[in-house]
Structure 1
């Protein structure tokens, strides 16, 4: 048998290298290899079908509106008896959007659950077996989480603004309209802040892996530290109030300019920088640690 005949039969037996396609016709690469698009699609299905996702989104929207109504009504009733100095520092914008304090925690917890739920059920092993490139897995989780948290955050701050404004107006206290300076900055910037809070939770969940420990860490960082900051020694209290990332980022939802604190956009930049650093640390840890 000639060599040409052997080569032809070998080529016919092996056949051409095929690439799989999903049901949308998107190439999936060589058999067994998931592309970034498939990883995103799988994460979207997984996160969207988690029961906690729906509960967190609805809870965030309800908490934002409820706190805006309570805070606006209480602050509006107190306005009539305030001193001139207190009235000068009265911040209708911050009062209306104060619900972000709870919203940041709920969305951060959702970010943590995106990772810790897989570690708790051990499905992370199957995920990393299907997609060995861990950076691709974490990037898909971050993208899907942002796609959920950002519109939820904007809807929360927008709804809270409207409810809080109505409560202040009903009490006869100063209030903002959407056309007033800083109103849209607070609404849209507040949505960005809440999305960053969710990514902070994702980074914490990746680094810690335990749901309980992640929840404890996020509550401490976002609620306990800012609440205890005034009780710290002088310089430490001032530095914490000004530069602690959740406190600094929350300045984006305020209208009153406190000279001792960061301006809205620099404060949000501090929060964003913290999230970038933690996500980088999470990526490096995720890539080098056993599942």
Structure 2
């Protein structure tokens, strides 16, 4: 039964023009930002001190596209649920699949698969384009076989997929695209930007926060502030799982 619901949700997602526009924007913007971030690094690298050159991380530079990409994934995840609330189609979906948990689970599965595939492809493309541009300027670049590189690239894809799932949770809780995206922007940009203003007890949470500790997965040079990037990413995913659980509970109990 769940397989049929998943198949139905996939048909709905792929039939939305906004889905393809969002993915096209994702890859077009991704390649553009990667080119901008890595196209002029020769002068920057030449000005670095010896200690700064030892900390040079071409992998992180090539994957910097995640800063914007996480918003695009947020749009994709939000639209999976809020598009139906906006059009009233959710009533038809519930008439066909009255089991609300199954319906939302199918949406999560479809969005997760699309986000994982798109995220991994974006990370590999950005890495390869970025390293080609860096190497072409005579600056030390990275290869997939170098220590920690493949882990950073694949971890980056998982990070973006997790952001898409966070957006699904927020979209389900708020039932509005604008509200969900505004909240997501606050989570990934506003909170990390104001980190120094929060009390000491909150600082520990930032080790697992999107765009903060969770984003340590993109680096290959050890960061003393986040020495265990997979632990940081895992903590972020647990927090997102909690948001999804809340979304399931609310969707099950609230009138549509």
Query: TM-score normalised by the shorter chain: which range applies?
Result: over 0.9
Partner residue of 2:237 out of 254, 272, 276: 272
212, 216, 221: which one aligns with 1:247 = 212
Cα deviations by residue, 1:83-113 (Å, 9 ceiling, x for unpaired): 2232222211110000011111111111111
Write out aligned runs for 1:32-43 (5 A): 35-43=1-9
1:6-85 pair list within 5 angstroms: 35-85=1-51
Contact 1:248 / 1:262 at 8 angstroms: preserved in 2?
no
In the alignment, the residues of structure 1 paired with residue 235 and residue 211 of structure 2 have an alpha-carbon distance, to the nearest angstrom, of 9
Q: Which has the higher mean CA deviation after the structures are superposed, 81-90 or 39-48? A: 81-90
Pick from 187, 205, 227 the counterpart of residue 221 of structure 1: 187
Q: Does 1:170 align with 2:124?
A: no
Evaluate the alpha carbon distance shift between residue 240 and residue 167 of structure 1 in structure 2; reply closer, same or farther with a 3 A threshold.
Answer: farther
Kept in 2: contact 1:245–1:274 (CA 8 A): no
Q: CA deviation at 1:242?
A: 2.6
1:98 aligns with 2:64: yes
Aligned to 1:282: 247
For the aligned residue pairs, the C-alpha RMSD in angstroms reads 1.8
Q: Which stretches in structure 2 are left out of the alignment for 5+ residues? A: none
Q: Secondary structure at the match of 1:247?
A: coil
**SS of the residue 1:117 aligns to:** helix
Q: Which runs of 5+ in 1 are unaligned?
A: 1-34
1:241-281 alpha-carbon deviations (Å, 9 max, x no partner): 53324422211111111111242211110121011111100
Report if aligned partners of 1:94, 1:255 keep a CA contact under 8 Å in 2. yes
1:136 aligns with one of 102, 105, 110: 102
Alpha-carbon shift at residue 74 of structure 1 (Å): 3.3
After TM superposition, give the deviation of residue 238 of structure 1 in Å. 5.2
Q: 1:76 to 1:243 in 2, by over 3 A?
A: farther
Larger Rg: 1
User: 5 Å matches for 1:192-211?
Assistant: 192-211=158-177
Distance 2:53 2:149 in 1: 19
Number of aligned positions between the proteins: 256
**Greater RCO (Cα-Cα under 8 Å, separation 6 or more):** 2
Describe the superposition over 1:106-130 as per-residue Cα deviations: whole angstroms up to 9, x where unpaired. Answer: 1111111111111111111111111
User: In structure 1, what is the Cα distance between the partners aligned to 2:24 and 2:126?
Assistant: 14
2:213 aligns to what SS in structure 1?
helix
Aligned structure 1 segments of 4 or more residues deviating by more than 3 angstroms: 233-241
Residues in 1 aligned to 2:173 and 2:206: alpha-carbon distance in whole angstroms = 25
